[in-house]
Amino acid sequence: MIKVEQISKSFKDTQILYNISFEIKNGDFVAVMGPSGSGKSTLLYSISGMDSISDGRVLFKGINISEMQENELSRFRLIKMGFVFQNPQMLKNLSIFDNIILPGLVAKKKSADDIRKRALELMKQMEIEGIGERDIREVSGGQLQRASICRAMINNPEILFLDEPTGSLNSAATDQVMAILENLNRDGMTIMTVTHDPRVAAKARKVLYIRDGQIAACKEFSVGVDRERELDKWLKGFHSRA
């Protein structure tokens, strides 16, 4: 689905990413880990077109999105990609339900009735169907993050990008959100998430470890293995070599 070819990113005199290359296939679940300031979020933003790159290119099903004009790229992201952040980007003057349907209304791919129907189906799937009319300040962090996933899914994107989606959640809410993401991936959704939490990363099929703006190592899990145990062992061995 996505092919990243030798991308680099610099800001003023600071180099943030260095000649990074890898692929994301349809149905992949990729987690990006690394120390603070290593370039994890910058990599996600660069791949998704939310941030420009200095060199290289990003191909989305053969389309070079790094050459798109901003208005074309914004439309492309709206239709093809979904985004979930650590702090949900919800509008305070809208209800939960209206926040969820907003990207669908902007995209105008379907009728308003179909968009509302899609939102209700997603909210039921995420087990938050009873909070639609509430203000975003009247729900828990876990409920708000599940609403963010509904909003990211409203236009049936081909990939979900998540930046520390459980970073501000407690353990119970984290488990709920990750169970949802696992189910979405099992149903065919391609996912890329940035996380510092090994429990979250262990849900992925592939883990990229970023250090100093480069992919220092990659871990792919075999079917049926204890991912948390394998990841813990890998990270300990990787850190011991650092």
Q: What is the pLDDT of residues 182-238, one digit of tens each?
A: 999 999 999 999 999 998 999 999 999 999 999 999 999 887 888 888 888 888 876
Distances (CA, A) of 73 to 76, 125, 211: 5, 30, 28
The residue that leads in pLDDT, 131 or 87, is: 131
CA dist., res. 110 & res. 55, Å (int): 37
Q: How far apart are CA 77 and CA 55, in angstroms?
A: 20
pLDDT category of residue 82 using cuts at 50, 70 and 90: very high
Could you give the percent of the chain with pLDDT greater than 90?
75
Q: Are 177 and 140 in contact (CB under 8 A)?
A: no
At 11 the pLDDT is 87
What pLDDT score was predicted for residue 168?
85
How confident is the model at residue 192, as a pLDDT?
97
pLDDT at 37: 87
The CATH code belonging to domain 2-240 is 3.40.50.300
Cα–Cα distances (Å) from 203 to 29, 167, 186, 206, in that order, read 8, 15, 11, 9
Q: What is the pLDDT of residues 135-158, one digit of tens each?
A: 999 999 999 999 999 999 999 999
Determine the pLDDT at residue 241.
54
Report whether pLDDT(79) > 80: yes
The larger pLDDT score, comparing residue 242 to residue 150, is at: 150
- pTM score: 0.93
Average pLDDT, the chain: 92
Find the range with the poorest average confidence among 39-48, 58-67, 144-153, 221-230: 221-230
